[in-house]
Chain A
């Protein structure tokens, strides 16, 4: 299929990561009593951001090697024949 799944995964986790990092950095610090005093939003947000970025890089690099246009055109051809 023409869409590399790593792109939406990378994008989703980057967005969620950014949201959590931002909230952890600028939000109320009093909420971390439950999480044993750790600012888990900041820390885990950063982890998710890194994961998202890696997925984006992997997805983009591979779709650059194997352009989407080629593979989807291929499946279109096959569809035409099957009809």
Chain B
């Protein structure tokens, strides 16, 4: 693609700042608390922006644009239903226990509330998951750099083969993230996430504005597309009348309740950002402040996908022929849709067809093609920098969560107890190097065995699905016991696996998509299957935990003070102005989310 020196300068300036923040923070990293918890000294708005930015990795920016092109505005459900209510809940009801218990991580809270085995289970599955997620992020980034031919010109001038682009992207991004975390720990990650947040907005907003102007605004999109694409709730009464292929109950329970609460309320990757806040009230406000930009993010990441399919299929002459995507378009005999090209089989170079002989579309190229289509050199550099920023924040989020859980919940708990704080600080730094090396290894594993990544993500989904039931019972029912939590988690994960093994999305073959035990039910879409897997896992975990709790010995009440709702003093925040009170903020956030849902009904 036609990058010029101004684009490279912008990318270089960004990298200098990212590393510079690490260097500037190095002198503050004196104890393990500084490194892993940011010294609990970060203002609420900074934590809040880091809270959404850490989650705004590669999969999000590219994936949400892709879903926008595939499913339309209903993709916003991943924000309005799939994030906002859970973010309000974790801020108002759960943060008092995470922050107040002085636990240093989510697994550590599980040890305080339940027992060692529940913590071990959570710590090990979480640590594995973060390493692979960050590996997937690196892989996706390097792949994208290759698809967009970003490094081709410099590689040619250096006389290197074009395939080196993948390795260079992996190594450089891993090194940058490694250096800034190694130097500045969690503060550095959080500060860079805030920087990345603003960059993502700065890079994507002009794209959306230009695209909207081109297609004639929202009303122009509505004219171009079938109504199902521009309404988020219409047709939700039946899975066959909306593009997601889910009915409202599966959506609200599966996405809005189980998956979303399971992620936002229990995933240490995001909770860690709030635990770094300077006070209890700041920690509680963190997810609520995060919810405000989160709510309008669909306009930034989903809308480009909708614009991409609203455009007439490739107006010839408008797109300059200098960039690589064009070469692909010349070859293809089958038209794409708007800016979305058909999927090309990497080995044969032919467009891939579905079972009906229609070409499959490569939706993941919606956002990158939009960037190339609208942004001239200069802003294009900023747009690519924004993409890079999102990859790095996604990776750094995983790495900082990994080094903390590894050091506190695995190393200090099971390998080497009672060492000096300096020793754990050192272990944390080593874990950072080790974690990044593992992510890079995972990225390379993904290039060889793509199915392994699909398989792992599936297993993680099974592990995650029941978690929220355990936390809900643990925090709000003092009778819940450790044996019950452990048994509930295991049986919930098992239930998820069994449900997946017994069902299939329509049109899929038994295997990685499900049905590997037997096929007793066919879902109208993969999304419906995922949501129902989560619902089953959660319900089984809930029931088993309650049943086992009733027959096992509960812990003494005085041991549970500060860990369970009914035994913890409410914090009074009456002295704060209303906009700083979590409850008031929470209500404001929910009302705004409701308004958005009504507007895009």
Contact = CB atoms under 8 A, between A and B. Distances in A.
A62 B14 CA distance: 25
B206 A9 contact: no
Interface in B324-341: none
A75 B10 CA distance: 35
B31 A79 contact: yes
A11 B375 contact: no
Contacts of A23: 6, 378
A40 B206 contact: yes
B214 interface: yes
Contact of A44 (B21, B25, B206): B206
Interface magnitude class on chain A: 35 or more
B194 interface: yes
B373 interface: yes
A57 interface: no
Contacts of A36: 210, 213-214, 374
Contact of A33 (B13, B318, B421): B318
A20 B318 CA distance: 23
A13 B28 contact: no
B473 interface: no
Nearest to A7: B24
Interface in B21-53: 21, 24-25, 28, 30-31, 33-34, 38-39, 41-42, 46
A33 B41 CA distance: 48
B239 interface: no
A45 B374 CA distance: 16
A31 B319 CA distance: 11
Nearest to B378: A41
A27 B6 contact: yes
Interface residues of B, number: 42
B376 A32 contact: yes
Contacts of B377: 31
A70 B6 CA distance: 40
A2 B375 contact: no
Interface string A1-32: 11101001101110110011001100100011
B20 interface: yes
B424 interface: no
B13 A13 contact: no
A12 B13 contact: yes
A42 to B, nearest CB: 9
Given A8-B21, A23-B6, A27-B6, A35 B31 contact: no
A23 B382 CA distance: 13
A62 B330 CA distance: 56
B293 interface: no
Contact of B46 (A5, A31, A51, A75): A5
Nearest to B42: A1
B408 interface: no
Secondary structure class of chain A's binding surface, majority of residues = helix
A13 B379 CA distance: 13
B376 A13 contact: no
A79 B24 CA distance: 18
Nearest to B38: A1
Contact of A9 (B33, B38, B195, B213): B195
B13 A19 contact: yes
Interface in A31-61: 31-36, 38, 40-41, 44-45, 48, 51
Given A8-B17, A9-B194, A34 B206 contact: no
A3 B30 contact: no
A75 B194 contact: no
The interface centre, meaning the residue of B6, B14, B213 with most chain A CB atoms within 10 A of its CB, is B6
B202 interface: yes
B25 A12 contact: no
A15 B12 CA distance: 12
A28 to B, nearest CB: 9
Nearest to B45: A5
A9 B281 CA distance: 25
Given A16-B10, A16-B382, A79-B30, A9 B198 contact: yes
B198 A13 contact: yes
Nearest to A41: B378
Interface string B183-225: 0000100010011001000100010001001100000000000
Contact of A40 (B25, B39, B373, B376): B376
B324 to A, nearest CB: 15
A31 B3 CA distance: 12
Contacts of A13: 198, 202
Interface of B: 6, 9-10, 13-14, 17, 20-21, 24-25, 28, 30-31, 33-34, 38-39, 41-42, 46, 187, 191, 194-195, 198, 202, 206, 210, 213-214, 318-320, 373-379, 382, 421
Report, nearest first, the 7 A-B pairs whose CB atoms are least far apart. Answer: A41-B378, A31-B376, A79-B30, A12-B17, A23-B378, A44-B206, A23-B6
